């Protein structure tokens, strides 16, 4: 048995747009994801978050599902356009929903970890430039202050942003996510304004209550050169620079890495960085959240028009999930150890880890997802290896509680511990849910040797 520390936080995670539905109810305004989903060809099958898991109307049932898992914490996000309306005024009904979540969690003995921004920017702000506009960072801080005040005393820990790399480079760079822009200069500008929004929001919440703990969640992955050639090794440096170091160095060293600034020289001179920005962005974090799914094996792509000029390749002979992502748990150990070695100490949480598989309801009515169990077990073993190596890892959150709206993939990809039958909205805990409840009860997982 690999035992985790007694105070290790076991959790599971969701995000507002992916589960809530009720996208036009109780004063919720439109977000960039509503607009993106309504644009033909952007999301598989034309799916949208209009109904999603109907979580807005099934809150109590879902809170009971969470409680039955036995998790100590639940990570969810607040929908900005539900809380601030199109007139820029606070929507009390929207805020009340999040109070109900927090109260319901406390009643069930589950700690809330609140993410303020999981990609659903109000459309009214996108219409004014979105994250390419500096004002959006200030608007984000105002919104953070509102949520913080409403939940004051009930929530100790806030995460400002989820995966700013995805918001910036997939939202504004390759256009695969909302708002679907394809402009490298916009993407880098957005990255800075997202980080500035984090810094301003953190300062605002700490000013309101110095006891507030603030963190941020990044999607990080080890980047491995495809071959030992100088070209591939340099491609890996560039890819790592854009995906990992641009964000890590800004947050944990208060500066952008010189080689990454150089990488984008032809698209931007970084004139959007103003005096004082980096001090705000680099203010000490109470925790860093890591979303880990896979490492990236990277090859030089000299002909690419993307400034990073590097493409991801599949490692041969490795199992893949339904997302086409390779299953390589050892990458999680490498990543955690690297953070410990390269950056100043900061408490770490794995705020997302999980896998999509083509789950089916069996003849007995059960969803027996053995591959997900194997995925999670392998990654917990990898997390434990990092703990043994001295990494300050405080907790682990499975992505996701429920099958849900998987962004550009719509409902086709199922990540949940709990199956959602979208026709009836029935929740069916999968085998992995029972397995995870057992892990939490035992405080650990079996040793890798016993698994074989
Ligand atoms: C992460 C997102 C999360 C989910 C998983 C699969 O990038 O934060 O919302 O879509 O991927």
Listed in sequence order, the residues at least 6 apart from 363 whose beta carbon sits closer than 8 Å to its beta carbon are none
Q: Measured from the CA of 407, which atom of ligand 1 is nearest? A: 10
Query: d(Cα 37, Cα 42) in Å, to the nearest integer?
Result: 6
Q: Measured from the CA of 323, which atom of ligand 1 is nearest? A: 6
Name the pTM for this structure: 0.98
Query: d(Cα 386, Cα 380) in Å, to the nearest integer?
Result: 10
- Dihedral Cα 101, 145, 129, 242, nearest 10 deg: -80
Looking only at the bridges linking them, the beta strands covering 157-162 and 111-117 are parallel
Q: Residue 285 gets which letter from DSSP?
A: P
Domain count, the chain: 1
In this prediction, residue 152 carries a pLDDT of 84
Neighbours of 182 (CB within 10 A): 11
Query: Is 313 within 8 Å of 298 (Cβ atoms)?
Result: yes
Query: Is 173 within 8 Å of 305 (Cβ atoms)?
Result: no
In this prediction, residue 449 carries a pLDDT of 72
In this prediction, residue 85 carries a pLDDT of 97
3-state secondary structure (DSSP) of residue 375: helix
H or E element: which one contains 75?
A: strand 73-77
Measure 42 CA to ligand 1 centroid, in angstroms: 17
Residues acting as catalytic residues: 163, 352
Listed in sequence order, the residues at least 6 apart from 206 whose beta carbon sits closer than 8 Å to its beta carbon are 212, 214
Q: Measure the CA angle with vertex 351, ends 38 and 28; round to 5°.
A: 35
In this prediction, residue 68 carries a pLDDT of 98
Q: What is the DSSP string of 103-122?
A: HHHHHTT-EEEEEEESS--B
Query: How many Cα atoms sit within 13 Å of 101 on the Cβ side?
Result: 30
We report the CATH number of the domain holding residue 11 as: 3.20.20.80
Give, in order, the Cα–Cα distances in Å from 435 to each of 9, 174, 222, 351, 426.
Answer: 17, 38, 28, 19, 20
Residue holding tokens 């030089």? 300
**83: its two tokens:** 């809380």
Query: d(Cα 319, Cα 297) in Å, to the nearest integer?
Result: 14
Query: Is 116 within 8 Å of 98 (Cβ atoms)?
Result: no
- Domain enclosing residue 198, as ranges: 2-450
| Site residues for ligand 1, CB cut-off 6 Å | 15, 18, 162-163, 166, 219, 291, 352, 399, 406-407, 415
pLDDT in tens, the chain (452 residues): 999 999 999 999 999 999 999 999 999 999 999 999 999 999 999 999 999 999 999 999 999 999 999 999 999 999 999 999 999 999 999 999 999 999 999 999 999 999 999 999 999 999 999 999 999 999 999 999 999 999 989 999 999 999 999 999 999 999 999 999 999 999 999 999 999 999 999 999 999 999 999 999 999 999 999 999 999 999 999 999 999 999 999 999 999 999 999 999 999 999 999 999 999 999 999 999 999 999 999 999 999 999 999 999 999 999 999 999 999 999 999 999 999 999 999 999 999 999 999 999 999 999 999 999 999 999 999 999 999 999 999 999 999 999 999 999 999 999 999 999 999 999 999 999 999 999 999 999 999 876 54
In this prediction, residue 330 carries a pLDDT of 98
Q: Measured from the CA of 15, which atom of ligand 1 is nearest? A: 9
Q: Widest CA span of the chain, in angstroms?
A: 63
- Taking the alpha carbons of 96, 98, 101, 105 in that order, is the dihedral positive or negative? negative
**Helix boundaries (H) for 38-157:** 59-69, 80-83, 92-107, 123-126, 134-150
Measure 364 CA to ligand 1 centroid, in angstroms: 30
- Taking the alpha carbons of 442, 112, 124, 135 in that order, is the dihedral positive or negative? negative
């Amino acid at each position: 048995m690999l035992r985790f520390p007694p105070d290790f936080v076991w959790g599971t995670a969701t995000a507002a747009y992916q589960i809530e539905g009720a996208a036009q109810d109780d004063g919720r305004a439109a977000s960039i994801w509503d607009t993106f989903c309504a644009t033909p060809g952007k999301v598989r099958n034309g799916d949208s978050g209009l109904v999603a898991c109907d979580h807005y109307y099934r809150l109590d049932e879902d809170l009971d599902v969470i409680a039955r898992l036995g998790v100590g914490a639940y990570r969810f996000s607040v929908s900005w356009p539900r809380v601030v309306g199109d007139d820029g005024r606070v929507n009390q009904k929207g805020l009340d929903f999040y109070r109900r979540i927090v109260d319901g969690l406390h009643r069930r003995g589950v700690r809330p970890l609140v993410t303020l921004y999981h990609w659903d920017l109000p459309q009214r702000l996108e219409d004014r430039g979105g994250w390419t506009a500096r004002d959006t960072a200030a608007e984000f801080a105002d919104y953070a202050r509102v949520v913080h005040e409403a939940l004051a005393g009930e929530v100790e820990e806030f995460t400002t942003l989820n995966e700013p790399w995805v918001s910036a480079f997939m939202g504004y760079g390759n256009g695969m996510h909302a708002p679907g822009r394809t402009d490298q200069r916009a993407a880098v500008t957005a990255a800075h304004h997202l980080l500035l929004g984090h810094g301003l929001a953190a300062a605002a919440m700490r000013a309101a209550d110095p006891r507030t703990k603030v963190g941020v969640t990044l999607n990080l992955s080890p980047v491995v050169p495809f071959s030992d050639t100088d070209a591939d090794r340099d491609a890996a440096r560039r890819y790592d620079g854009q995906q990992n170091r641009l964000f890590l160095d800004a947050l944990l060293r208060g500066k952008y890495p010189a080689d990454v600034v150089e990488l984008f020289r032809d698209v931007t001179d970084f004139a959007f960085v103003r005096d004082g920005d980096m001090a705000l962005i680099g203010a000490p974090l109470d925790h860093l959240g890591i979303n880990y799914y896979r490492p990236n094996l990277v090859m030089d792509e000299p002909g690419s028009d993307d400034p990073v000029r590097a493409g991801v390749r599949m490692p041969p002979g490795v199992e893949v999930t339904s997302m086409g992502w390779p299953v390589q748990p050892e990458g999680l150990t490498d990543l955690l150890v690297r953070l410990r070695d390269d950056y100043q100490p900061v408490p770490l949480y794995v705020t997302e880890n999980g896998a999509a598989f083509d789950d089916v309801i069996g003849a007995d009515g059960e969803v027996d997802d053995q591959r997900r169990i194997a995925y999670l077990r392998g990654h917990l073993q990898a997390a434990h290896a990092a703990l043994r190596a001295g990494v300050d890892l405080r907790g682990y959150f499975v992505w996701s509680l429920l099958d849900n709206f998987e962004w550009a993939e719509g409902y086709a990809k199922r990540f949940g511990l709990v199956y959602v039958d979208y026709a009836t909205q029935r929740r069916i805990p999968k085998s992995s849910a029972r397995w995870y409840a057992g892990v939490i009860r035992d405080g650990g997982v079996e040793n890798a040797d016993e698994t074989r």
